[in-house]
Amino acid sequence: MSSGGPRLFLLLPLFAVIAAFLLYPLGFLFRQSIGGTSGFDFESYKALFCDSYARAALIHSLLLSSLVAVSSTLVCLPSAWLFAHNLFPAQRVVRAIFTLPMSFSGIIMGFLTVIMLGRIGVVPQLAQKLFGHDYLSGSAYRLHGLVIAYLYFEIPRATLTLESSFRKFDRRLSLAARSLGANGWQRFSYVLLPLIWLPLLSTFAVTFSASLGSFGVALIVARRFSLLPLEIYQQIIGYGNPRLMSAMAITLVTIAFLVNYSVRLAGDRQQRVI
């Protein structure tokens, strides 16, 4: 009923920004990746997927991101649940603290990781003092160190996404289930789970694409561990091959987009089903 026609021009600024700063650059990158206007080919992509090193970076990235996404989703599940049902003391403060890492750029995460889990990090040194052995020493530079760093980074995202989806869950349903004789576990498996597996997925998607993109952490801690964003970074600061670099970037974007979009589609389908 609100006649959109005359007001559409209000959209122009937004459109301009997106077109100029998002669509054009990405388009440019793509063009570059397939070799510009003059006869194009997909050499760079071939290189990316076949050349052992680049492929390793790609695989590492995917591996790390999925690892982080899964673990962060699981780790934050209980807290999110508590928050959603306002069961935690001084909830606001706690939530605020939880959201801290979100605005940290990855580099701070990296720094913190080194400080805590480096070869002479706080944790190993405490361990040394307490147990006489420097447990976790130098783990910052290994895969699990990296995962921990990213995890730290994803805690707020995961918690908030999960919390909001828990909040959306209608508690009357679980009351109804109770009145029908469903015990805690049955309520969880028969009612809660079927209704929130999608939110779980979307949490996964959010954290996944976030860790896929952030290279600040890796910049500092990733030692012998190459990641796609790092490669892109190296390509641009050192002597790199612009085509390959563009290809890498486009690949990153595509993956992130696909993951998010497919989850969205799944969501819509369930909406239609429910």
Partner 1 sequence: MTKFKPGLVTAHLLTWLLLIVVIAPLLVVILGAFLNVSFLGLASEQWAARKGDGIFNHGWFAYVFHLYGSNILFSLLLAGLSVVIGAAISLPGAYILATCRWRGLRIFEEVVLLPLSIPGIAMSIGLIEAYITFRGQWWLILCGHILYTVPLMTRVLTNSLRSFDIARLELVAQSLGAGWWHRFVFVVVPNLRHSLIVGSLLVFAVSWGEFNVSYLLNTPLHQTYPAALYATFTANSFQVSSAATTIFLALIIPILFALQWLGGDEFTHVEQSA
Partner 2 sequence: MLETIGLRKSYGSQLAVDDFSHRFAPGKITTILGPSGSGKSTVLGMIAGLLQPDRGRVELGGRDLTSISPERRDFGMVFQHYALFPHLNVQQNVEFGLRVRRLTRKRRAERARETLQMIRIEHLADRRIREISGGEQQRVALARAIAIRPKVLLMDEPLSALDARLREELRSELLRLLRDLAITTIYVTHDQIEAMTLGHEMIILNHGQVEQAGPPDELYLRPASLFVANFLGDSNVFAAESEEVSERLRLPFATINLQPNGHNSSPNEHSSRCWAMIRPESMELVPEGEADFAATVESATFLGNRLRLQLRAAGEKVIVDVENRCAVSPSAPVYVKVKGAEVATWPR
Partner 3 sequence: GKAADKVVIQYDCIPNYANWGGVTAEYTRETGVRIPPDMKGSSAAMAALEAEKANPQADCAYYSAAIGYQASEKGLHQSYKPKGWEKIPSSLKDPGGLWWTVHTAYIGLIVNKSALKGKPVPQSFADLLKPDYKGMVVYDDPTILGTGFTYVYGINAILKGGPDMNAGFAYLKKLDANILNYAKDTVYNDVLRGEIPIWINADGNGLKMKYVDKGDIEVVIPREGTIAMPLVMAMVKNDPHPDATKPYLDWLLSDTAQKIMAESFFRPVMHVQLSAALQKEFLPESAYAKAVVLPLAEMAANADAVKERWTNEIKH
**DSSP calls for 24-50:** HHHHHHHHHHTTSSSS---HHHHHHHH
Return the residues of window 180-219 that contact partner 3 according to CB under 8 A: 219
For tokens 């995202």, the residue is 157
Report the C-alpha gap between 221 and 164 in whole angstroms: 32
Q: Which two tokens stand for residue 145?
A: 């160190």
Does 52 help bind partner 3 (rule: CB under 8 A)?
A: yes
Return the residues of window 214-253 that contact partner 1 according to CB under 8 A: 214-216, 219-220, 229, 232-233, 236-237, 242, 245-246, 249-250, 252-253
| Nearest of 18, 19, 57, 38 to residue 247 by alpha carbon | 57
Residue 138 contacts which entry, partner 1, partner 2, partner 3, none (Cβ below 5-8 A, type-dependent): partner 3
Tell me the per-residue interface mask from 72 to 91 with partner 1, x by CB under 8 A, - otherwise. ---xx-xx-xx----xx---
Question: Which of 170, 254, 257, 269: binder of partner 2 (CB under 8 A)?
Answer: 170
| Nearest of 65, 48, 55 to residue 106 by alpha carbon | 65
Question: Which of 87, 181, 224, 238: binder of partner 2 (CB under 8 A)?
Answer: 181
Does 238 help bind partner 3 (rule: CB under 8 A)?
A: yes
Q: Which two tokens stand for residue 151?
A: 């995890």
Q: Which two tokens stand for residue 216?
A: 């600040």
Question: Which of 22, 59, 70, 175: binder of partner 1 (CB under 8 A)?
Answer: 22
242 exposure class (CB count in 10 Å sphere: 0-12, 13-18, 19+)? middle
- Give the SS3 label for residue 111: helix
Give the interface with partner 3 as residue ranges (CB under 8 A). Answer: 52-53, 56, 114, 118-120, 138, 141, 219, 223-224, 234, 237-239
Give the interface with partner 2 as residue ranges (CB under 8 A). Answer: 1, 170, 172-173, 175-183, 186, 190-191, 194-195, 273-274
